[in-house]
Chains A and B, each alone.
Chain A
Amino acid sequence: MGGVELDDICQQAADDALVAVMSKLDAYRGASRFTTWAYKFVLLDISVKLRRHAWGRRAIPTPDDDPTWDRLAQGAGEADSRLESLELMRALRKAVAEELTPRQREVFVAVVLNGVPGDVLAERLGSTRGAIYKTVHDARGKLRRHLEDGGYIDPMERVRTGPA
């Protein structure tokens, strides 16, 4: 992205963020410094605009996008443990095709497998970022349970997230 183009996006984002802040002034409760509260709207606006710009008119990968699975199967330099076997990837591909709803499948393939930002996908699908996130969350849970039931993932090996 060129300097002038980036300046334009930032200027537009700053203008939009100012409008957003002004419209939400009544919601400010003083729980943080006013500048911190206001900055988050500016950064949200800039971030969303940059992500949308980066994706521009690029096509969103679909569940029928076979190269996605080929790329995953060919992941170079990865340890060949039981959990990382081709068998697991085949089971996952089958579960994505058969266990998820069409909407969950569409969102999972785009966001999880291909890294499409949730807000970019939301705009394309006429949805919201929060709804896309919830769909991914539900799809992950459904796939994890299915793969555990099938013996592809050991429930005892679950990784519990914690502080980075």
Chain B
Amino acid sequence: MNKRELINLLKTSSGEDSGCEEAFALLDQYVEAELEGRDTEALLPAVAEHLRNCAPCSEEHAALLALLKEQLGA
């Protein structure tokens, strides 16, 4: 992390955050909602917030989304 990213992180006031465990529990529903074009910010706001804040969970979200998109031929 560079200085700018660090300062932005400190200035960022997080909303409700699901945490890693709940985010993982809901990740399959979250990704399917995304693929269906639904508003995940409204449906699962705490998961959306967590995925912005947690690098490992964000990686796994991206991987699952990419895999499903590939399967759908998107």
Contact = CB atoms under 8 A, between A and B. Distances in A.
Interface of A: 31-33, 36-37, 39-40, 43-44, 46-48, 51, 72-73, 75, 78-79, 83-84, 88-89, 92, 112-115, 117-119, 129-130, 133-134, 137, 140, 143-144, 147, 153, 157-164
Contacts, number: 116
- Sorted nearest first, the 9 A-B pairs with minimum C-beta distance are A75-B3, A32-B28, A130-B20, A36-B28, A158-B13, A37-B28, A43-B63, A159-B12, A159-B11
Please report whether the interface of chain B is mostly helix, strand, loop or mixed according to DSSP.
helix
B17 to A, nearest CB: 7
Contact of A78 (B4, B12, B54): B4
Q: Is the interface of A mostly helix, strand, loop or mixed?
A: helix
Which of B6, B41, B53 has most chain A Cβ within 10 Å? B6
Interface of B: 1-4, 6-15, 17, 19-21, 24, 27-29, 31-32, 41, 48-49, 52-56, 59-60, 63-64, 67-68
